[in-house]
Structures are given as C-alpha cells and as structure tokens.
C-alpha cells in the first residue's frame, strides 16, 4: 500500500473529509465537474482510471440522465463513491479490455490525472483503446497536471511522487498537443481549459479525426 493510502486509513470515518481537503489544495474537482457538465449531455460516460470514485460522485449528480462506467486496476475501485449506484458500473479492468469487450459504446471518455502515472511509451496503446471505445462523434476529455513553469507544479510533483510512490512524468502543453494529434488526428483538439485553483490543472477537449 502506498504511503498516502496508509496515512488516510488512520483517519477512519473522517477519511473522506480529510481526503477532500487535501485534494482541494491542488484540484477543485467540483469546479472541474461543473465545467464538464456545461460542455454537453452524454448518455454514457466512461472514466478511465476512476480510482475510488470521487469524480464520478460529482458527475452522477450533474448528469442525472447519464449512465457511467468507471474502470481502474486498483483494488480500491469505487470505494468512496457516493450516489446512485444503479447508474454506475465499476470494473477492475484496463481500457484495452473494455475496448475489446465494448467497442464504440460510449459518448464520452474521461481521463483525469491518470496519464502522468503511465509510462509515456505506453500512451499510444492507451489512446488507441480510448479511440476504439468511443462512438462516432464522441468526446474525449483528458485532464492532467501540466508542467508549465509554475512553482506550484513542483509542489504537486513532490506530493504526487511521495504519496503515490509512482515514477510520474508530467508533460508540457506542447508535448500533449503533439501526442494528441498523433493519436487522434490533426484538428482533434477542439478546446482546452484550466480549472481551479492552479493553471497546472489543464484539460483538453478532443474529438478524434482518425476513424476507430
């Protein structure tokens, strides 16, 4: 178990509250969810790397008519999710397994603060699976902690590196643009935005121009 999970377990029933306070210092998830809710109204959403279900808790409330799939490899999958579980399905599988089983099945794919935990050499395979699982005309939202020269970036790097124990690597905006155009096609980036409280929280709105 990573050090972050061990420390959190010490708080017992207060763990969700303490976790939310810690996360808020780096990323206002509620503000991010509200921005997503203004983009469109998908019928089916897949969150890749959903972890314990914190973002899905927000989105289930904001998209009351949508159905959700949350996938991750962590055994703590969906542990803190709070909401209507009849509209959410959690599966401990990879996005490649999901794409093989249910191609072209979702309207939106969300990937939030996941890619910097995955070796960059593996990104093309992940992006290929994400493209395959998307219905024609669907949307991909990829949000990550940007390496942008902001001193806060290094605070976030230290916290993430120590707490998760992963060998993380953050990308610059230019690196992400190149990676996304290679994976999803030229012109795939339709919009981008940052969310509170720091500009390092950068999201790209993508619509693939390469057929699945």
Count of domains forming the chain:
1
Q: What percent of the chain has pLDDT over 90?
A: 74
Q: For residue 89, give the nearest of 131, 128, 44, 147 by alpha carbon.
A: 44
Q: Do the domain assignments include residue 131?
A: yes
Strands annotated E in 23-115: 44-48, 67-71, 88-91, 106-112
CATH number at residue 25: 3.40.50.150
Mean pLDDT, residues 106-127 taken together? 96
Q: Do the domain assignments include residue 212?
A: no
Q: Do the domain assignments include residue 61?
A: yes
Question: At residue 6, does pLDDT exceed 70?
Answer: no
pLDDT of residue 16: 55
> What range does the domain containing 144 cover?
3-206
d(CA 149, CA 183): 26
Q: Do the domain assignments include residue 164?
A: yes
Mean pLDDT, residues 69-87 taken together? 94
d(CA 140, CA 119): 20
Half-sphere exposure (Cβ direction) of 56: Cα atoms closer than 13 Å: 33
Q: Do the domain assignments include residue 211?
A: no
pLDDT one-digit tens code per residue, 131-186: 999 999 999 999 999 998 778 777 777 777 667 767 889 999 999 999 999 999 99
The two three-digit tokens of residue 197, written as one number: 């409280």
């Amino acid at each position: 178990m990573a050090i972050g999970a061990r420390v959190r377990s010490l708080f017992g029933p207060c763990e969700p509250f303490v976790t939310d306070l810690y996360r808020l210092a780096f990323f206002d998830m509620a503000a991010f969810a509200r921005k997503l809710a203004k983009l469109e109204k998908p019928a089916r959403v897949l969150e890749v790397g959903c972890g314990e279900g914190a973002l899905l808790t927000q989105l289930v409330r904001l998209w009351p008519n949508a159905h959700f799939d949350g996938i991750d490899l962590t055994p703590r999958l969906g542990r803190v999710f709070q909401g209507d579980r009849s509209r959410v399905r959690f599966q401990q599988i990879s996005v490649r397994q999901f794409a093989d089983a249910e191609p072209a099945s979702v309207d939106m794919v969300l990937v939030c603060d996941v890619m910097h935990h995955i070796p960059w050499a593996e990104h093309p395979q992940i992006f290929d699976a994400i493209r395959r699982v998307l219905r024609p005309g669907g949307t991909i939202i990829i949000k990550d902690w940007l390496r942008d020269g902001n001193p806060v970036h290094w605070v976030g790097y230290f916290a993430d590196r120590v707490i998760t124990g992963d060998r993380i690597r953050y990308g610059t905006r230019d690196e992400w643009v190149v990676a996304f155009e290679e994976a999803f096609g030229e012109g795939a980036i339709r919009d981008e935005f940052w969310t509170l409280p720091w500009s390092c929280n950068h999201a790209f709105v993508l619509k693939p121009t390469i057929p699945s």
